[in-house]
Amino acid sequence: MDIQSVGIIGAGTMGNGIAQACAVVGIPVVMVDITEEALQKGVATIAGSLDRLIKKEKITAADKDRALALIRTSTRYEDLASTQLVIEAATENLPVKTKILQQADALLPAETIIATNTSSISVTKLGAATQRADRFIGMHFFNPVPMMALVEVITGLQTSAATHDAVKALAERLGKTPISVKNAPGFVVNRILIPMINEAFFVLAEGTATAADIDEGMKLGCNQPIGPLALADMIGLDVCLAVLEVYLAEFGDPKYRPCPLLREMVAAGRLGRKTKSGVYPY
């Protein structure tokens, strides 16, 4: 299948980022969320992102207008039926994702591919909740989607080769570099990254160094463009915690035990940039 239209469930950070990535290369998008307010906020975020690209002279004002014209919004799953690929970009929660995927599966044409943007949950398990496991796949984008080049294309046990090839080709059309990954908790990048972030929280909790010095040490000593604690704020501390809890449950290995400080900050509502307060104030 040559994918020429994309539906996205979720207008949040990942959903609107994926919508922007599609629209700027000329792919029509239908973005669905439960409220008009969420959709308007998502479109406003895309417009702001495009404005920043105009200021950097990477696109023109006409390019922005063309991209925004390709994004249609709706609160109805039925409006996704005209798309060839639907990407679920909801919160990292198994019951929530399962409910959304089953609702979409019941309404979409049989030939439509469904992808999940999960960063940790089993693609095989999510696919089994639908009636199209062979046309179900993981498509893990990284935040911020318009800027990050990588997409992990994750095949579940039932995913067909044709589905994999179609989604990989779409990722390349978006200007991304896809890597093919077999289903496993955390896949590749987050399997390595999130435990590193967790360890940075343990170091911070133990008072070994300040947050700024931990981040500076990792930037200068490991050539990372951003320190692990600042990156956690960007990802969302709640997301980091949710991913660690999935690893702990799936692997049963105590090395994935979330740092108590991370739990405490999430309980306090200090989730990072999206709440204007995390490890750092914003």
88, 122, 140, 183: the active-site residue: 140
Q: Tell me the Cα Rg of the chain.
A: 19
16, 117, 120, 190: the active-site residue: 190
82 among known catalytic residues:
no
The set of residues, in sequence order, having a beta carbon less than 8 Å from that of 41 and lying 6+ positions away, is: 11
140 among known catalytic residues:
yes
Tokens, residue 254: 């105590």
122, 152, 183, 198: the active-site residue: 152
Label the pairing between strands 6-9 and 71-74. unpaired
117 among known catalytic residues:
no
Sign of the dihedral defined by the CA atoms of residues 35, 37, 41, 43, in that order: positive
Distance CA 59, CA 51 (A): 9
214 touches 255 (CB < 8 A): no
Distance CA 231, CA 35 (A): 29
119 among known catalytic residues:
yes
Tell me which DSSP letter residue 164 carries.
H
Tell me which DSSP letter residue 142 carries.
-
Report CA-CA distances (Å) from 30 to 58, 62, 86, 172: 25, 21, 9, 20
16, 49, 117, 119: the active-site residue: 119
Report CA-CA distances (Å) from 218 to 67, 138, 142, 193, 262: 37, 30, 20, 13, 19
> What amino acid positions are annotated as catalytic residues?
119, 140, 152, 190
